[in-house]
Amino acid sequence: MLGKIILLVEDNPDHQDLVQRALRKEGVPHLCVAVKDVEEAMDFVHARGAWEERDRKLTPALVLVDLKLARSHGHEVLRTLRRDPVTRHIPAVVLTSSVEERDVAASYEAGANGYVRKEIDFDEFGRTLRSVASYWLDVNVAPEVSPRR
């Protein structure tokens, strides 16, 4: 059985692969779909553009957002998610290497539900991702999201 969908907004293909491998290694039963920026994230959510063939009923249950994106900033992704009625209540967690307090504060101000620093050690990184996925997808109770028709 396919679990829920985790939408990863990360523009570095190596980092996308790292997150997906860590989730698999930790046995996280949810599908992680990687996109590179805010436009592609919203295309995925609304099943348009390159994603128009995907099942519209499968809406992400968690969004992981990197802060340092080439074409946009993670805070822009968060603000866009919070403005859209379909994504307004989907948990969004910043996944970054930044230790700057201003990044933490700005992330919450932009609508983040959590802020997680990327671990350097791969095993520790995997355990952290498993904890994040477990809380937001298995423990937390979120409102149902209805995709637009």
Q: Of 43, 50, 27, 37, whose CA–CA distance to 86 is shortest?
A: 43
Between CA 100 and CA 145 the distance in angstroms is 33
Between CA 33 and CA 7 the distance in angstroms is 5
CB atoms within 10 A of CB 88: 12
- CB burial of residue 130 (10 Å; 0-12, 13-18, 19+): middle
pLDDT tens by residue, 40-67: 999 999 999 999 999 888 889 999 999 9
Between CA 105 and CA 68 the distance in angstroms is 15
Q: What is the pLDDT along the chain (149 residues), one digit of tens a residue?
A: 468 999 999 999 999 999 999 999 999 999 999 999 999 999 999 999 999 999 888 889 999 999 998 888 899 999 999 999 989 999 999 999 988 999 999 999 999 999 999 988 999 999 999 999 999 999 998 887 665 54
Domains of the chain: 19-125 (3.40.50.2300)
pTM of the model as a whole = 0.93
The predicted pLDDT at position 147 comes to 59
